[in-house]
């Protein structure tokens, strides 16, 4: 039993999520014990004459006049056991569990919403998990391992491990105690002959009247420190996005100046066709890719279309930044405008919800421009080509942008 207690104690003391872990442990241990034995099912009336073997009960309060020589397996909603004598283990699971004045020859293992143990003598260990777990006055056990939201220890044991949100110690531990909780309270009557190891986010309340052989306290990082670190990480993230999109917008302005200027002119003169084309293309692209994938012969086409759309998606935000700032600030240097737009939209993409809107709007903008260029290219008049003018989708949208250093627009007007 002692070796087992040493293995379990650290696990409960080192995790704030120990209630769930301990509950799983209880169920697992109960299963192992159930498999290794042959329980006898009996009603409450029948158990009054049971004097040997194991007992499995689903009753609210089994009558154990002669006790149980071996194990008691007990489950139900509200369980209350008083003055019972069990030769070996008690394995219980329920909503509210109460044991008073009982004698248990081996160990108690339970999982419940609430557990109250008072005046019980347990020769083995207590391993329990729940919301409110209390090992009360007059109760004795070898090792006590408790996990819950509110854990109270007021009994006597030789080894204690407790984990929860609030852990209160007012009993006697003839050995070491390990506590992991947000709030730890050690009251006046507490006695711990060995080491009291506390891991907490708050400073524990240890009464000056409590008797502790050695106190070891480990305070976790304060939430304000975590907030500062989180704020620094967020700031670096914003700066990274701003710098990255700024650089990409500058590269697009350098490599694709005609497309950047042409999309700005198109957004000014053909706003509705550009937006409608982008929205329709966004809605249609997913089913189009799926249909092409279904048809075996068009798989290469589906792969090419998907790669093309992904490329547009990756550059949509910096391209929109360079183009829109060119439209809003026509008198600015194109590179300065692109840098500003890239930084602003880069920061915007990092903002929750707003980032999704910016990305979708940018993709619709770029996709609409590409679709409009393809449409205008297919419907260009033949007279335009015969005049010796090379066709450019952007030329249809330049209008009177000569003042911005753009090539003059062709005379042909295309609707």
**Residue where the block lists tokens 């819950």:** 148
Give CA separation, 405 vs 243, 264, 341, 351, 412, in Å: 28, 14, 20, 36, 20
> What whole-number distance in Å separates Cα of residue 324 and Cα of residue 36?
74
Q: Same domain for 31 and 131? A: yes
Q: Same domain for 239 and 162? A: no
Task: Look up residue 233 and give its two tokens.
Answer: 């990480």
206 in a structural domain: no
414 in a structural domain: no
- All residue ranges of the chain with pLDDT < 70 are 1-54, 57-66, 221-229, 380-415
204 in a structural domain: no
CA 75, 79, 84: angle at the middle one, nearest 5?
100
β partners of residue 117: 99, 135
321 in a structural domain: yes
pLDDT digits (tens, 9 = 90+) for 60-110: 445 554 578 888 888 878 888 888 899 999 998 888 899 999 999 999 999
**Residue where the block lists tokens 């249909």:** 291
Residue-level pLDDT at 161: 95
> What whole-number distance in Å separates Cα of residue 147 and Cα of residue 100?
20
Q: Same domain for 142 and 238? A: no
CB within 8 A of 13, min separation 6: which ones?
161, 162, 163, 178, 179, 180, 197, 199
Q: Work out how many domains the chain is built from and give that number.
A: 2
- pTM for this one? 0.47
> What whole-number distance in Å separates Cα of residue 393 and Cα of residue 262?
8
412 in a structural domain: no
Q: Same domain for 161 and 71? A: yes
335 in a structural domain: yes
Enclosing domain of residue 52: 2-166
Q: Are 279 and 364 in contact (CB under 8 A)?
A: yes
Helix/strand/coil for 208: coil
Smallest CA-to-CA distance from 346 within 233, 234, 238, 250 is with 238
185 in a structural domain: no
Residue-level pLDDT at 41: 36
> What whole-number distance in Å separates Cα of residue 160 and Cα of residue 196?
9
């Amino acid at each position: 039993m002692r070796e087992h207690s040493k293995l379990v104690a650290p696990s409960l003391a080192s995790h704030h999520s120990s209630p769930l872990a301990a509950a799983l442990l209880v169920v697992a241990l109960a299963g192992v014990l159930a498999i290794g034995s042959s329980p006898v099912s009996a009603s409450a009336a029948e158990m009054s004459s049971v004097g040997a073997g194991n007992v499995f009960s689903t009753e609210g309060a089994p009558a154990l006049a002669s006790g149980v020589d071996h194990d008691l397996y007990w489950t139900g909603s509200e369980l209350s056991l008083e003055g019972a004598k069990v030769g070996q283990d008690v394995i219980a699971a329920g909503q509210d569990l109460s044991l008073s004045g009982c004698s248990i020859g081996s160990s108690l293992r339970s999982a419940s919403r609430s557990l109250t143990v008072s005046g019980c003598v347990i020769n083995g260990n207590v391993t329990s998990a729940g919301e409110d777990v209390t090992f009360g006055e007059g109760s004795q056990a070898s090792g006590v391992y408790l996990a819950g939201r509110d854990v109270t220890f007021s009994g006597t044991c030789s080894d204690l491990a407790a984990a929860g949100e609030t852990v209160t110690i007012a009993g006697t531990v003839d050995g070491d105690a390990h506590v992991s909780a947000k709030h730890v309270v050690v009251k006046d009557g507490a006695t711990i002959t060995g080491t009291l190891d506390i891991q907490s986010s708050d400073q524990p309340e240890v009464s000056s009247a409590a008797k502790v052989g050695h106190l070891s306290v480990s305070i976790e990082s304060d939430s304000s420190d975590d907030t500062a670190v989180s704020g620094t990480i967020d700031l670096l993230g914003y700066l990274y996005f701003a710098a990255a999109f700024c650089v990409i917008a500058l590269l697009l302005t350098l490599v694709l100046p005609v497309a950047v200027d042409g999309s700005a002119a198109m957004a000014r003169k053909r706003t509705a066709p550009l937006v409608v084309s982008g929205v329709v293309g966004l809605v249609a692209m997913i089913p189009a890719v799926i249909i092409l994938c279904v048809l075996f012969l068009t798989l290469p086409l589906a792969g090419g279309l998907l790669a093309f759309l992904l490329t547009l998606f990756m550059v949509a935000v910096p391209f929109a930044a360079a183009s829109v700032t060119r439209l809003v600030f026509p008198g600015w240097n194109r590179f300065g405008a692109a840098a500003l737009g890239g930084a602003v939209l880069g920061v915007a993409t990092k903002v929750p919800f707003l980032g999704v809107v910016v990305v979708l709007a940018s993709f619709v903008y770029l996709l609409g421009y590409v679709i409009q260029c393809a449409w205008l290219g297919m419907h260009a008049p033949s007279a335009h080509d015969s005049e010796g003018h090379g066709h450019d989708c952007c030329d249809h949208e330049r209008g009177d942008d000569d003042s911005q250093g753009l090539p003059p627009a062709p005379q042909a007007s295309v609707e």
